[in-house]
Structure 1
């Protein structure tokens, strides 16, 4: 059934022209009254209007400045290190772990690669004075492959009790099952799929911004002399240059 289209036709006859003229006059009168009312409000409350206008200008300027700073910071990060998804797909598992470590360092974290047999669901451990300690589990896989909930369970079970982390994330160049994403969101285990990884590695958005990690006061980890992992040697797997551009 076709929809009937409504169109406005020109008036016909004296009566219709008269009615149209009355409608137009009423509309003009309403607009004039509205303008008069606005003018009276502006005259009576001009200090308040001026303050609100200045606040609006200030907020707009602050947002523009913040956007400019973020653009500059992102460009600086990308000038230090940038990986494309094609480069990441061509890596092996160990190279992927080192790439994630270096991306965290680029973003201001103190990070080290720890992945090996028996790593208890931690491939990279990093610390930040604002965001605390994070455990990263790397899952380098085929593009079409999906990471399931089992990985989330493992990371949840070791991130805090074993690695004393404030947060944890699973990063893959593939994707996650819906159950894995939903379980991670419910139990505060971050996830970075192919699209989020592209934002991080290729577009320069920091991981902590992508995951919206909560900030915390710098504190000393139990049983350590330092609040975060110690500095490390910038070493890379054989045949790699850490992707530094």
Structure 2
């Protein structure tokens, strides 16, 4: 059986009407008193509430201002970024990759570091609205270290198919073997050795100027060859 619905009935007789009026008046008086108490409490507490709201607002404004200033500072730092060969030599692999990313950003390539396990021969990827996508393989070596042809083969094999690159570059603070440079030139894998790195990072020459990547090379020979 379903539950019986509770139904209110109208008061019957003078006694019930009077009782209903008394209850209604009591509820009304209680509501008025509660409202008055709330108003009094608000009068007492409003200075504290105002102070709390002001503190929260000031904190939020300070954090926003600090974030904006931090972005401005980063932009100014990157715009004039210079890194010496001695500083590169003192870096570890991860620091080297981050430094190359910052240099790309300085040159107008929004870039990100992607190096790590399974990076498919790409440590930094940058995208330029006019010059396309560049994939950088970073090879940090000890002073006098040389990068061989096997690195060029790996970059050639993944830059186009895996990363949809328009340009593939291998960058080292050391040098390349003659075979690596010859193979890279023949197969459109660009290379930046110690001398080019100095011109790029220390002297301030933009990478696309250093490597001859004009805006018209949006679909580069590397892309076509891949």
TM range (shorter): 0.5 to 0.7
> How far apart in 1 are the matches of 2:137 and 2:160?
14
1:98 partner SS: helix
**TM-fit CA distance, 1:80:** 2.1
Once the two structures are superposed, what CA deviation does each residue of 1:211-236 show, in whole Å capped at 9, x if it has no partner?
A: 112434879xxxxxxxxxxxxxxxxx
Provide closer, same or farther for how the CA distance between residues 218 and 138 of structure 1 changes in structure 2, counting only shifts above 3 A.
Answer: closer
TM-score under structure 2 normalisation? 0.61
Alignment partner of 1:201 is 2:190 = no
Equivalent residue, structure 2, for 1:166: 166
Is the CA contact 1:172–1:192 (under 8 Å) kept in the aligned structure 2? Answer: yes
**What is the SS of the residue equivalent to 1:125?**
strand
Q: Show structure 2 runs of 5+ residues with no match.
A: 1-75, 220-226
Secondary structure of the corresponding residue to residue 201 of structure 1? helix
Q: Please tell me whether Structure 1 or Structure 2 has the larger radius of gyration of its CA atoms.
A: 2
Moved over 3 A (4+): 76-79, 216-219
Structure 1 unaligned residues grouped into runs of 5+: 1-75, 220-245
Conserved in 2, the CA contact under 8 Å of 1:132 and 1:216?
no
Which residue pairs with 1:135 in the alignment? 135
Higher helix fraction: Structure 1 or Structure 2? 2
Higher relative contact order (CA 8 A, sep 6+): 1
Task: Kindly indicate whether residue 149 of structure 2 is the aligned counterpart of residue 149 of structure 1.
Answer: yes
Give the aligned CA root-mean-square deviation in angstroms.
1.9
Task: Number of aligned residue pairs: give it.
Answer: 144
- 1:181 and 2:211 aligned: no
Contact 2:78 2:105 in 1 (8 A): no
TM-score, normalised on structure 1? 0.56
